[in-house]
């Protein structure tokens, strides 16, 4: 028996507890939103008393940061997987939508109203850029051969540092920004419940936005 795992039992226990905490946290978030997340309630729910959790997370913010990181990671992987299996831009857009609808609070944790003081750590923005790259790639591929230069594209030609050296033409960057903001516009209003009461199907609106974007 080779001891395949270099991790100590303590480490394994630790990571396992952290995982269970985060699992409970996701349950809480799914039902009551991120702002209602309570370390105390999680601890009691796990059968231990309040302050114990501070052995695993420095504070509430660190737990939330970890949840954000996990959500970004999951979204990036989901989009990457879809892209690998041949999904085009429309496919990625629909993948994003199903991912958002599967757990609205998770989407809103990433792209909803931020806590004013909170500053995202370095690595989460890195994953966020990874997501952007996947989408920009698809945008570049979906771009019609002769796309007229829009004012936005010419503006982006001079302000593309955020694309981090991505070789896509400015028109692709412009398409990405349009795509991102439009999809988010539909999704966030839908998830926030601003369409409830209106009887129309948000999916039709989503597809409409997508169609005009690719047409």
Partner DNA sequence: AGCTTCCGTGATACCCTCTAACCAACACCT
Partner DNA sequence: AGGTGTTGGTTAGAGGGTATCACGGAAGCT
- Interface residues with a copy of itself (CB under 8 A)? 31-33, 35-36, 105, 108, 111-117, 125, 150-152, 155-156, 159-162, 174, 177-178, 180-186, 188-189, 192-194, 197-201, 204-205, 207-209, 211-212
Per partner kind, with CB cut-offs from 5 to 8 A, the member of a copy of itself, DNA, none near residue 189 is a copy of itself
Residue 54 lies near DNA (rule: CB under 7 A)? yes
Per partner kind, with CB cut-offs from 5 to 8 A, the member of DNA, a copy of itself, none near residue 141 is none
Q: CB-based contacts of 186: which residues, under 8 Å, 6+ apart?
A: 202, 205, 206, 209
Of 19, 58, 126, 192, the residue at the interface with DNA (CB under 7 A) is: 58
Of 24, 38, 142, 166, the residue at the interface with DNA (CB under 7 A) is: 38
The DSSP result for 20-82, as a single string, is HHHHHHHHHHHHH-GGG--HHHHHHHTTS-GGGGGGT-SSHHHHHHHHHHHHHHHHHHHHHHH
> What is the distance between the alpha carbons of residues 177 and 166, in angstroms, rounded to a whole number?
14
Contacts within 8 Å (CB) and 24+ apart, 118-126 = 118/61, 118/64, 120/65, 120/68, 121/65, 121/69, 123/69, 124/65, 124/68, 124/69, 124/72
Residue 14 lies near DNA (rule: CB under 7 A)? yes
CA-wise closest residue to 106 among 5, 19, 189, 188: 188
Of 146 and 198, the one with the shorter C-beta distance to a copy of itself is: 198
Is the CB of residue 108 less than 8 Å from the CB of residue 184? no
> What is the distance between the alpha carbons of residues 100 and 108, in angstroms, rounded to a whole number?
8
Is the CB of residue 176 less than 8 Å from the CB of residue 139? yes
Stretch 61-90: interaction string toward DNA, x if CB under 7 A: x-----------------------------
Of 43 and 163, the one with the shorter C-beta distance to a copy of itself is: 163
Q: Please report how close the Cβ of residue 16 comes to DNA at its closest, in angstroms.
A: 10
Residue 115 lies near DNA (rule: CB under 7 A)? no
Of 85 and 161, the one with the shorter C-beta distance to a copy of itself is: 161
Q: Which of residues 17-36 bind DNA (CB under 7 A)?
A: 17
Residues that bind DNA (CB under 7 A): 8-10, 13-14, 17, 37-41, 43, 47-52, 54-56, 58-61
């Amino acid at each position: 028996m080779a001891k395949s795992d270099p991790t100590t039992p303590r480490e394994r226990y630790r990571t396992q507890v952290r995982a269970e905490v985060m699992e409970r946290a996701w349950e809480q978030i799914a039902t009551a939103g991120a702002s209602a997340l309570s370390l105390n309630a999680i601890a009691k729910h796990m059968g231990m008393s309040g302050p114990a959790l501070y052995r695993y997370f420095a504070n509430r913010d660190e737990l939330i940061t970890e949840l954000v990181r996990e959500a970004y990671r999951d979204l990036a992987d989901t989009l990457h997987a879809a892209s690998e299996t041949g999904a085009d831009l429309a496919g990625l857009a629909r993948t994003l939508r199903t991912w958002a609808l599967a757990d609205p609070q998770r989407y809103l944790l990433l792209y909803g109203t931020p806590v004013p003081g909170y500053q995202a750590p370095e690595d989460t923005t890195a994953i966020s850029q990874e997501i952007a790259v996947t989408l920009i790639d698809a945008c570049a591929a979906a771009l019609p051969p002769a796309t007229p230069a829009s004012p936005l594209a010419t503006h982006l030609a001079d302000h593309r540092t955020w694309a981090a050296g991505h070789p896509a033409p400015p028109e692709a960057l412009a398409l990405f920004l349009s795509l991102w903001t439009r999809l988010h516009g539909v999704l966030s209003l839908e998830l926030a419940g601003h369409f409830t009461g209106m009887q129309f199907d948000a999916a039709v609106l989503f597809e409409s936005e997508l169609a005009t974007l690719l047409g």
